Amino acid sequence: MSIAGAAACADFTKICPLVSRRTNPGYGGEQTRSVRVKRVEFGAGRPVIIGGPCSVESVEATLELAHAVKAVGGDMLRGGAYKPRTSPHDFQGLGLEGLQILREASLQTGLPIVTEVMDPRLVEQVGSYADMLQIGSRNMQNYPLLTEVGRFGKPVLLKRGMAASLCEWLGAAEYMAKEGNLDIVLCERGIKAYPSGEYSRFILDLNVIPALQRETFLPVIVDPSHATGVASMVEPASRSALESGCHGLIIEIASERPGAACPKCDAAQAISPTTLGRIVEFASSHARERMEGKACATA
Ligand code: PEP
Ligand code: MN
């Protein structure tokens, strides 16, 4: 792709031949690789909705939110046991205890789990609890971590670095593909660009979705929670992301029960389970309309 006035684009076929659409003609012009996490499938038509708390904070809160995700029709549970925090003095997550809580929530609800791994030395530990390993924005270019996670072999959610170009992002995916793991789902989570931080946490880059789909066959989902940082922006951002063709959403929620504890991390961007339910409903009807549209076009 070349854009007048823009810097020359990298040659993806050389930087990331294993994940580039051009060097894998089996995927054709539009086909997406479907990535399976237990019974959930990314890139298979119906958008995947992942919901849950920013961090796992207690058994009670996590179970309540997991059951809420299930009740509104969500597909997977998110929640950080190891949290990348700006200050080392802030809550860092419950670690192994958090992973055990996630396992219990998954057993009770049947929802597969995605959770972040930050340390190459902990890939085995986190990977034995997670159904999908998340590489966070801050670690997108942590190459030893990418290599370990690639070797581990479980499906991966690869978040975009907050200042990463498309080329750097796909280069990160290539590190895991090189280890034999192509079960990678990309996640746009907002980038730092002027005026991020003024009225929203980051800038949600929806343009990257069609650009990615041109360059790679890997599915892509959107995180409207971290991209906006503002609860009231999450629902419209989710709708826009689905309209832009993403294969799913990952969304932070908090309890709407009176008296529930305020989340320790990212409270301002957490939406209620009721709002999550509306997003699930929108995603389902949007997918139905697209299928019907395709059927009409071919009739
Ligand atoms: C998260 O999803 O928990 C998270 C920390 O997101 P990001 O890495 O995109 O900031
Ligand atoms: Mn968060």
Mean pLDDT of 21-46: 93
Q: What is the per-residue pLDDT across 275-292, written as a single tens digit (0 to 9) for each?
A: 999 999 999 999 999 888
pTM for the model stands at: 0.96
Annotate 127-137 with b (16+ C-beta within 10 A) or e (fewer).
bebbbbbbbbb
Question: Is 299 a residue whose pLDDT tops 80?
Answer: no
Per-residue model confidence (pLDDT) at position 7: 44
Per-residue model confidence (pLDDT) at position 298: 66
Angle between helices 273-298 and 59-71 (to 10 degrees): 30
Mean pLDDT of 42-52: 96
Ligand 1 neighbours (beta carbon < 6 A):
54, 80, 84, 116, 136-138, 159, 189, 223, 226
Across 81-95, 135-149, 279-293, least confident range: 279-293
Q: Are 167 and 13 a contacting pair, CB within 8 Å? A: no
Mean pLDDT of 40-46: 95
Q: Is 126 helix (H, G, I), strand (E, B) or coil?
A: helix
Per-residue model confidence (pLDDT) at position 1: 56
Q: What is the per-residue pLDDT across 164-174, written as a single tens digit (0 to 9) for each?
A: 999 999 999 99
Question: Is 5 a residue whose pLDDT tops 50?
Answer: no
The H or E element that residue 221 is part of is strand 220-222
Burial (CB count <10 Å: 0-12, 13-18, 19+), residue 12: buried
DSSP state of 203: B
Burial (CB count <10 Å: 0-12, 13-18, 19+), residue 293: exposed
Domains of the chain with bracketed CATH: 12-298 (3.20.20.70)
Mean pLDDT of the chain: 95
Question: Is 115 a residue whose pLDDT tops 60?
Answer: yes
Nearest-atom number in ligand 1 for the CA of 134 is: 2
Mean pLDDT of 246-266: 97
Nearest-atom number in ligand 1 for the CA of 189 is: 9
Per-residue model confidence (pLDDT) at position 294: 77
